Amino acid sequence: MFVLPRLFPMVSLRPTRRGVVRSAAAVGILAFAGEAVRVMAWTNRHTVIPGRVYRCAQPSEADIRELSKKHGIRTVINLRGIALVPDAPESRWYLAEATATHALNVSQEDITFSANRLPPPGELRRLIEVLDRTEYPVLIHCKRGADRTGLTSAVVLLLQTDATLSEARRQLWPRYGHFRFGRTAAIDEFFDRYEAWLKEKGVWHTSACFREWATTIYTPGPAVSELEWLAEKPVRAKAGEPFAVRIRATNRSTEAWEFQPGNYAGIHLYYIVADAANACVYKGQAGLFRRTVQPGESVELTATVPPLAAGKYVLGAELHDATGAGVPIRATSFVQFGDRAAMTEVEVR
């Protein structure tokens, strides 16, 4: 009987544990890479509540038509705010979106949120009002569909479903493009504040609890103030001579204000002087000292202005929070959270 020689060693077809682990890891890496590409480079589309709420990155006109046809979208909630100059190159997305929603007879609601800051209380209340009154199904979007869209999607679940806070916060997972580090961690801090309030009250989350907190209790950190000029109106000054104007800042937030001596290292007063043509002629800072101002307390600050030519001017002031900023661009104006600036007229003779 002739037997073929063994030219090759016997190979087992039974998978080893190491092989299974490697295969699973490879599949996981490929899936993660595919999801990352879809999130970062494409549409980042997801369902929040089937048949009712959907989310995506900035949609094109074609995307809006497609999603309107596929899901019957009746309202688009844009979280990027409005474009003050729609025909500017950086604002063409807004004009395209408004054109598409108008052509489809779809409502468009514009809410101004930031991916790097806590949401302004006024805009948060307006979002809740839109969600209460608008026609469904709804499409929610920001630029990438990750941070602001994730926040809003979680708010929808907290208001309209029986989802727990933990379940709602899954709308801010990395699979949607959101990561809890850097400046976008402010989005997560919003829900941390709600969770802390629940613990303080000793209650569990309900949609009624979240509505109460979001509409009547929530404040964006220390960024709530009352500013009052301590001078006659209009302020009068002599041409060619410097002058100073005092202003009282009262802390109306629920957190202490920490003033620091560094230009960009704490809360401080930022002020500008504009001429009759609305051109800035001077800008300065005040409150560059160490002081803690508790909720309900006030601090008086001095805005000093160099010599000006005779004429009429406007002096405007607002508080900035530069805690940990290090550079001017990272300082955050209280006005960005819905706080009010203080304005007064100046006559120089």
Class of domain 225-348: mainly beta
pLDDT tens per residue across span 120-164? 999 999 999 999 999 999 999 999 999 999 999 999 999 999 999
Give the contacts of 338 (CB within 8 A, at least 6 positions apart). Answer: 120, 121, 122, 123, 220
Closest CA to 114 of 145, 79, 153: 79
Instruction: Specify the pLDDT at position 181.
Output: 84
Give the pLDDT mean for 322-332.
Answer: 61
Residue 239, phi then psi, degrees to nearest 5:
-60, 135
N-terminal to C-terminal alpha carbon distance within the chain: 123
For residue 112, count other CB atoms closer than 10 A to its CB.
18
* Residues 147/114, Cβ–Cβ less than 8 Å: no
Give the per-residue SS3 of the chain: CCCCCCCCCCCCCCCCHHHHHHHHHHHHHHHHHHHHHHHHHCCCCEEEECCCEEEECCCCHHHHHHHHHHHCCCEEEECECCCCCCCCHHHHHHHHHHHHHHHCCCEEEECECCCCCCCCHHHHHHHHHHHHHCCCCEEEECCCCCCHHHHHHHHHHHHHCCCCHHHHHHHHCHHHCCCCCHHHHHHHHHHHHHHHHHHHHCCCCCHHHHHHHHHHHCCCCCCCEEEEECCCCCEEECCCCCEEEEEEEEECCCCCEEECCCCCCCEEEEEEEECCCCCEEEEEEECCCCEEECCCCEEEEEEEECCCCCEEEEEEEEEEECCCCCCHHHCEEHHHHCCCCEEEEEEEC
- Burial class of residue 93, CB neighbours in 10 A (0-12, 13-18, 19+): middle
pLDDT tens per residue across span 9-40? 444 445 555 554 454 444 444 344 444 444 54
Phi-psi region of 324 (alpha: psi -120 to 50; beta: other; left: phi over 0): left
The residues facing 284 across adjacent strands are 271
Distance CA 86, CA 121 (A): 26
| Domain spans, the chain | 39-217, 225-348
pLDDT tens per residue across span 32-90? 444 444 454 568 999 999 999 999 999 999 999 999 999 999 999 999 999 878 778 88
> Whole-model pTM?
0.77
Distance CA 152, CA 140 (A): 8
Kind of pairing, strands 291-293 and 332-333? Answer: unpaired
Distance CA 337, CA 220 (A): 7
pLDDT tens per residue across span 223-259? 999 999 999 899 999 999 999 999 999 999 989 999 9
Residue 6, phi then psi, degrees to nearest 5:
-85, 100
pLDDT tens per residue across span 269-285? 999 999 999 999 999 99
For the domain made up of 39-217, give the CATH fold.
Protein-Tyrosine Phosphatase; Chain A (3.90.190)
* CA-derived radius of gyration, the chain: 27
